[in-house]
Amino acid sequence: GQQVMQIPQYQHVQEGEDFTTYCNSSTTLSNIQWYKQRPGGHPVFLIQLVKSGEVKKQKRLTFQFGEAKKNSSLHITATQTTDVGTYFCAGPWEYGNKLVFGAGTILRVKS
Amino acid sequence: DGGITQSPKYLFRKEGQNVTLSCEQNLNHDAMYWYRQDPGQGLRLIYYSQIVNDFQKGDIAEGYSVSREKKESFPLTVTSAQKNPTAFYLCASFRGVREVNTEAFFGQGTRLTVV
């Protein structure tokens, strides 16, 4: 069945370093979404990518959707302590209308 | 303000009891979902509903039940058949997974503990 894999599972960086999380689907996705969950909080929508090869930026965050629409990445430039949390990717299940989440990448930032 | 509300925020359950978690939204969304999150883990889908009076099992539906009698409400019952119910439960709603410019709105979550 369809799987959405996310790596790495965990990353601990020094403040100011860059960070990247990768999301790979076993099937082509019509769109992909990214969410951030702060410790103790709930997931909050960051962005949706729809087009093949699409790149979107939000300040220090850069999101990419692969040409084949089967992979995506989130890159944070010069991490800050406010970036800590878990980042999830999510995409539509190929056979129906449920939203499938990746396992998430936990980001910790040392100041 | 439009949003999605979960209650209670914290819930304690004795073994053998059924408990019901509330989820209400006033966003006029058709789709509502329940996820379970264990510490340091991702989101696992329990049940989801695309329309009133219809719902489907997710990946871990055993020991849970839901109803969707109103568009705004999607309560989740954790039954005594769920052997390890201690977890963080998240409810979400959105217009539709395949729509452009859609996003899932999550409630604040309910933290359930078996005592």
Over residues A88-111, the pLDDT tens digits come to 999 887 666 678 899 999 999 999
Mean residue pLDDT of chain B comes to 91
Amino acid, res. B24? E
Residue B11 has which token pair?
Answer: 């819930």
Tokens 């489907």 belong to residue: B56
Distances, alpha carbon A63 to alpha carbons B17, B18, B27, in Å: 45, 42, 27
Q: Is B10 on the interface with A (CB under 8 A)?
A: no
Which residues from A are below 8 Å from B33, CB to CB? 98-99
For residue B76, pLDDT over 70 is answered with yes
* Stretch B9-32: mean pLDDT: 93
What does the pLDDT look like over A4-19, one tens digit per residue?
A: 899 999 999 999 999 9
Strands A32-37 and B76-78: unpaired
**Mutation test of the interface with chain A: which of B9, B103, B111, choosing the one with the most A Cβ atoms within 10 A?**
B103
Residue of B nearest to A29 (CA): B98
Confidence at residue A95, expressed as pLDDT on a 0 to 100 scale: 66
Mean residue pLDDT of chain A comes to 93
Comparing A12-26, B13-27, B66-80, B99-113, which segment has the lowest mean pLDDT?
B99-113
Distances, alpha carbon A82 to alpha carbons A30, A89, B11, B111, in Å: 31, 19, 29, 24
* ∠ Cα A64 A70 A73 (to 5°): 30
Whether A95 contacts A28, CB under 8 Å: no
Q: Please, which pLDDT band fits residue B97 given cuts at 50, 70 and 90?
A: low
Residue A30 has which token pair?
Answer: 């019509």
Whole-angstrom distance, CA of residue B35 vs CA of residue B42: 9
Q: Please, which pLDDT band fits residue B39 given cuts at 50, 70 and 90?
A: confident
For residue B100, pLDDT over 80 is answered with no
For residue B37, pLDDT over 90 is answered with yes
Q: Would you call B98 and A90 a contact, using CB atoms and an 8 Å cutoff? A: no
* Stretch B7-14: mean pLDDT: 94
Nearest to A97 among B90, B96, B107 (CB): B96
Confidence at residue B112, expressed as pLDDT on a 0 to 100 scale: 96
Q: Please, which pLDDT band fits residue B40 given cuts at 50, 70 and 90?
A: confident
Q: Is A35 on the interface with B (CB under 8 A)?
A: yes
Whether B103 contacts B94, CB under 8 Å: yes
